Amino acid sequence: SVAVVLFTADLRLHDHPPLHAAVASADEVVPLFVRDPAVDRAGFAAPNRLAFLADCLTDLDAGLRERGGRLVVRHGDTVTEVCAVARETGAGEVHVAAGHSAFARAREDRLRRALAADGRQLRVHDAVTSVVPPGDVTPQGSDHFAVFTPYHRRWSGVPLRAPLPAPRTVRVPPGLRSDEPPARASVAGVSPAVATGGEREGRGRLRAWISQDLDAYEDRHDDLAGDATSRLSPYLHFGAVSATEAVHLARTRGGPGADAFVRQLCWRDFHQQVLAARPRAAVEDYRPRNDRWRRGAEAEEDLRAWCEGRTGYPVVDAALRQLAHEGWMHNRGRLLTASFLSKTLYLDWREGARHFSGLLVDGDVANNQLNWQWVAGTGTDSRPHRVLNPVLQGRRYDPDGAYVRRWVPELAALPGASVHEPWKLKGADRAAYDYPDPMVDLSEGLARFRRARGRN
């Protein structure tokens, strides 16, 4: 018998329930990836993610070849291509990871119907892209948790399945046509320092992270210059690393660093279960606040200055320039730049989310949109009126100013924390720095936000 394994956001061989089940139940397996233009139209097509995806597919193919198989790539509509491959090989079953976005669910429904019409079965595997599937833990009277802390408590008590080994051999039916997988070199417009994708790279990072850096995570995760977070987000986004395996390894290691890290992985599931229950939260306020975000020419100019990292607030600019250069930004940077856009500038969070999504290699509809909403106070934050002050944030999380000097070279000669307030320099000293004045007065921004939200 033959089974097809459709890879989506799970580009790995280790801890892969669909592949594991297919190899166990069928004589031959078709590992299939479909490059579907509808995925791009749904918001995926950012050069940084396409480059990372190309690495992931190249690596997946290499891993399969080591096991006697190969990756089959097709371009086109996913449902059409999966059905065609199933027909060509006489496969009775198609295995796929459950998806949780509206897009993934609609695709899954179409696929199930099309296969059934052909007398074939779709087998959907849970807990592949998330640790605890959306809907598995719910509060009484609701289909999802709207508050993180009780979710985290329940989530932590869910028994974890043991991570699965990669199959030793994968036998692929001979003679199957495969389109050329996309190559990183052919993607235009990639940021200069986007991480290398792929399971091999991701697993290497995961192991090094758990054994060397995890213990310091609790103390250092907010240190902008120290860069002491795992940087696993793109691998988790593409499924090159299994979140279940990451939780398992961290818990085995134990300690406060492990607890803090696992808690962050819980945030990932938390946002997924919100989005699964409220798919419109990708575009609409989760909790409508009747905001009248600024619009018009001046607002557009402010948005442009923010996107380009020339707001005049050094730590904000540093973070936005890190994003442009690496396709990745430190979490503290994401928090303070998003607060600056949505609250201090009072611009629509969707504009900021769009800019992030165009660059982030880990850009993810659940994590990006719902974290933006959290910061903008339209989402699940229980303190929706808090506003992060970029000067205090800079002094606190970049106390020596090293992060700013790394990303804002115009200010590299300013010593220590003075780099956070270049406007305090006077006369010729100030004129020596080719760096803009602050685009907005912080107290005016705060007053505008409070007026708009109806709290003084």
Applying CB under 6 A, the residues found at the interface with ligand FAD are 221, 229-233, 236-237, 261, 264-265, 267-268, 271, 331, 334-335, 338, 356, 360, 362-364, 367-368, 371-372, 375
Strand 121-125 versus strand 93-97 pairing type: parallel
Positive or negative torsion for Cα 389, 390, 396, 397: positive
Supply the minimum distance, in Å, between the C-beta of residue 193 and ligand FAD.
Answer: 15
User: Which alpha helices (H) appear in 255-326, and where do they start and end?
Assistant: 256-277, 297-307, 314-326
**Contacts for 206 with CB less than 8 Å, ≥ 6 apart:** 230, 232, 235, 241, 245, 246, 249
Supply the minimum distance, in Å, between the C-beta of residue 246 and ligand FAD.
Answer: 8
Q: What is the rounded CA–CA span in Å between residue 407 and residue 330?
A: 12
Q: What is the rounded CA–CA span in Å between residue 112 and residue 101?
A: 16
Supply the minimum distance, in Å, between the C-beta of residue 375 and ligand FAD.
Answer: 5
Structure tokens at 322: 């890190």
Supply the minimum distance, in Å, between the C-beta of residue 313 and ligand FAD.
Answer: 16
Q: In 31-56, which positions are buried (b, 16+ CB within 10 angstroms) versus exposed (e)? A: bbbbbbeebeebbbebbbbbbbbbbb
Sheet holding 121-125, edge to edge: 72-75, 28-35, 2-7, 93-97, 121-125
Supply the minimum distance, in Å, between the C-beta of residue 304 and ligand FAD.
Answer: 19
Asked if residue 94 lies in contact with residue 86, where contact means CB atoms within 8 angstroms, the answer is: yes
Q: What is the rounded CA–CA span in Å between residue 182 and residue 35?
A: 9
Supply the minimum distance, in Å, between the C-beta of residue 319 and ligand FAD.
Answer: 11
Helix-strand-coil split of the chain, %, nearest 5: 55, 5, 40
Measured from the CB atom, is 315 or 411 closer to ligand FAD?
Answer: 315
Q: What is the rounded CA–CA span in Å between residue 14 and residue 90?
A: 26
Structure tokens at 371: 């974290």
Measured from the CB atom, is 265 or 303 closer to ligand FAD?
Answer: 265
Measured from the CB atom, is 28 or 362 closer to ligand FAD?
Answer: 362
Measured from the CB atom, is 22 or 262 closer to ligand FAD?
Answer: 262
Supply the minimum distance, in Å, between the C-beta of residue 323 and ligand FAD.
Answer: 10
Return the bridge partners of 29, or none: 3
Supply the minimum distance, in Å, between the C-beta of residue 233 and ligand FAD.
Answer: 3
Q: What is the rounded CA–CA span in Å between residue 263 and residue 269?
A: 10
The alpha carbon torsion through 445, 449, 450, 454 (nearest 10 deg) reads: 150
Supply the minimum distance, in Å, between the C-beta of residue 269 and ligand FAD.
Answer: 8
Measured from the CB atom, is 69 or 449 closer to ligand FAD?
Answer: 449
Measured from the CB atom, is 57 or 258 closer to ligand FAD?
Answer: 258
Q: What is the rounded CA–CA span in Å between residue 6 and residue 84?
A: 13
Measured from the CB atom, is 191 or 229 closer to ligand FAD?
Answer: 229
Supply the minimum distance, in Å, between the C-beta of residue 28 and ligand FAD.
Answer: 34
Measured from the CB atom, is 198 or 363 closer to ligand FAD?
Answer: 363
Measured from the CB atom, is 49 or 405 closer to ligand FAD?
Answer: 49
Measured from the CB atom, is 82 or 316 closer to ligand FAD?
Answer: 316
